[in-house]
Structure 1
């Protein structure tokens, strides 16, 4: 990078949230740098759904369109992984694992998070294809087929009740959450959801390890027998854990939630001065559309603060500098 360049905002992460923030600030004629590692959370998915005008587009296509739309506004890009940030004289200097450095007045963290999947063989290989998270994102594509929900968090039972909206053939696997309480069992019966107790032993995948993508055939549940019970499913939904922690987030010292996501106010402002967080870095449940909208609002707030800072260093009529 050009050592003389100082950006108004450095955006860490080039997914939809980061690109939305960069678009707003670029159109506001701010100097913006986007640093992107090229590893979006939705990369395993074949397509992204529920985003107006681009329903069913691949994640790569969406990012490509977003980058192209930023070209008229002079937004700069740097490929890399940011592993540290240091504040000095009201400026942030961020460094990448490749040894690049950049300076910015404000940091916008759009670095997303890492999904923590159930520790079941085949989960990683099936993730984003046969093992899914959000029925609103992928339920339509597997409607009216054999579906399952694996118990992974306290929200899993509600997810099973919800998934019944897309198919009459839904099985709930409590997995390691233990036996289903009677009141919850009654609710599942009322929705026509089948329950198969016992830990899920593995996700059954078609093909061999060298074949990608591999279709999900079902799950094998430990029922006490040597082979276990094989339950056919074309898709299994789960609520994964979330981990937004990274060396950068750790180095900033921002207040974090238990899942590692950054605590922000309603505008996206973090506990550290001139640091903001958008998208899944602040909210693990943020979908593409909500992440883009929240990032838009945060970028407007960032620009308003930049205006205030610009006013503080304007020379007065005698040529002296006010404020600072």
Structure 2
């Protein structure tokens, strides 16, 4: 799809992995990746009439335009000291060259001798204006004198149009003509944002920037392919997880829920004002129904069809309204919360295989509304009859996994809570739950 529009703003990827582009008309567009090729602007010497002729019979590059004006009366207006070299190059194309030192400063004796040797006229008076006749440059006025010129060369100052990249915080490099966006085969320092052309290399000509743009686009496409492969693998693992949890909860198995909510969760949340709550990995609905009975509007997500079916039956038996709990069958690896909630609850998120738990917890934090809370409870220890674990979460690791920024959040609890569990033979033991409670500031 091709759209003609002026982009005025660009954001980094959000929790859905998409950038937002805003146009001058106020329209928003979404994209997985963005290639910025906004080029540069030419800042010209302040000579009346020059801007109007720019790109027509006033240009900058002798390599781009020299051959087409060979043998004509050519003028060179210096925009700085490097204009001396500019005039030397232009002399290759014509024997009729007039050099206007203008902003070049004093012409040294050696350079002046070279100009004289090659028949280049040197005018040291400041340029006042261009003379235009019948829509064509015919002369340059300097010191009150008009010098006959048919085509004009001058040096523009190149300024990369990189405002979008700078606002994103893209890392910059110090180029020979000023700062430019730092890239590695098109990749900038902001994931999903690529740049090519004069916005990264202000001195490059059309063939160079074309090649760089092709390389950047190829890298962008290759990166998107890897994202698609990762998503496909995640989807495949999700199906495997569904099958695995169906075996755990599946038909013929006894319910795994005791009918009581998570003890540590109930201890911290019992007195909170009801609102909206997202229960991640709700299983057979113990915590979700507990919330609903206290007036919370609940969204409960789990990967197991059977577990959710049991939760719906339990909700009906306990007399809850049909809309008290919205049950969602989904894999948390790929599922994205459609809104923000007053409370996001993640209780004993675990699996026998790695499923990117840290990513799930960080998206959970992103789903918390301002003023709302994130509550994460995990196994901090296991009883003697349980399976030994070397990698149980600690308060510090849970806080790191949630990825909360240094500002905008208040950690209300980060520690452990004891509780009593009963073993298969009726024996009791005290174990620890690792508990994280954090409130997003309003």
Partner residue of 1:235 out of 151, 154, 160? 151
Q: Does 1:168 align with 2:95?
A: yes
Q: Which residue of 1 aligns with 2:206?
A: 288
Q: Does 1:269 align with 2:190?
A: no
Q: Distance in 1 between matches of 2:65 and 2:36?
A: 27
CA RMSD of aligned residues (A): 2.2
Please show how residues 170-209 of structure 1 align to structure 2 within 5 Å: 170-207=97-134
Kept after mapping to 2: 8 A contact 1:110/1:280: yes
Q: Does 1:217 align with 2:138?
A: yes
What per-residue deviation string (whole Å, max 9, x for no partner) do you get for residues 15-61 of structure 1? xxxxxxxxxxxxxxxxxxxxxxxxxxxxxxxxxxxxxxxxxxxxxxx
Q: Which residue of 2 aligns with 1:77?
A: 2
Q: Distance in 1 between matches of 2:178 and 2:22?
A: 21
What per-residue deviation string (whole Å, max 9, x for no partner) do you get for residues 246-293 of structure 1? 653342222345767632335122232222211222222322222211
Deviates more, 1:268-277 or 1:248-257: 248-257
Kept after mapping to 2: 8 A contact 1:84/1:95: yes
Kept after mapping to 2: 8 A contact 1:263/1:282: yes
Kept after mapping to 2: 8 A contact 1:254/1:270: yes
- Other structure's SS at 1:292 match: helix
Q: Distance in 2 between matches of 1:193 and 1:255?
A: 44
Q: Distance in 2 between matches of 1:106 and 1:139?
A: 39
- Other structure's SS at 1:114 match: strand
Kept after mapping to 1: 8 A contact 2:162/2:199: no
- Other structure's SS at 1:180 match: coil
Please show how residues 74-153 of structure 1 align to structure 2 within 5 Å: 76-87=1-12, 88-89=14-15, 90-153=17-80
- Other structure's SS at 2:113 match: helix
Q: Distance in 2 between matches of 1:183 and 1:97?
A: 53
Q: Does 1:298 align with 2:223?
A: no
User: Residue 263 and residue 248 in structure 1: after superposition, are their counterparts in 2 closer, same or farther (change >3 A)?
Assistant: closer
- Other structure's SS at 1:319 match: helix
Q: Distance in 1 between matches of 2:40 and 2:178?
A: 9
Asked which structure has the greater RCO (Cα within 8 Å, sep 6+), the reply is: 1
Q: Tell me, which stretches of 5 or more residues in structure 1 are unaligned?
A: 1-75, 208-213, 223-227
Q: Does 1:248 align with 2:164?
A: yes
Kept after mapping to 2: 8 A contact 1:245/1:261: no
Q: Which residue of 2 aligns with 1:18?
A: none
Deviates more, 1:124-133 or 1:305-314: 305-314
User: Residue 299 and residue 293 in structure 1: after superposition, are their counterparts in 2 closer, same or farther (change >3 A)?
Assistant: same
What per-residue deviation string (whole Å, max 9, x for no partner) do you get for residues 111-144 of structure 1? 1221111101001111111211112222122110
What per-residue deviation string (whole Å, max 9, x for no partner) do you get for residues 61-111 of structure 1? xxxxxxxxxxxxxxx111111010122123210100101111112111111
Greater radius of gyration (CA): 2
Structure 1 or 2: larger strand share?
Answer: 2
Q: Distance in 1 between matches of 2:187 and 2:113?
A: 43
Kept after mapping to 1: 8 A contact 2:42/2:158: yes
Q: Which residue of 2 aligns with 1:311?
A: 229
Deviates more, 1:168-177 or 1:182-191: 182-191
- Other structure's SS at 1:125 match: helix
User: Residue 153 and residue 312 in structure 1: after superposition, are their counterparts in 2 closer, same or farther (change >3 A)?
Assistant: farther
Q: Distance in 2 between matches of 1:200 and 1:167?
A: 21
Q: Tell me, which stretches of 5 or more residues in structure 2 are unaligned?
A: 242-332, 334-354, 360-442
Q: Which residue of 2 aligns with 1:41?
A: none
User: Residue 190 and residue 308 in structure 1: after superposition, are their counterparts in 2 closer, same or farther (change >3 A)?
Assistant: farther
- Other structure's SS at 2:30 match: strand
Q: Which residue of 2 aligns with 1:42?
A: none
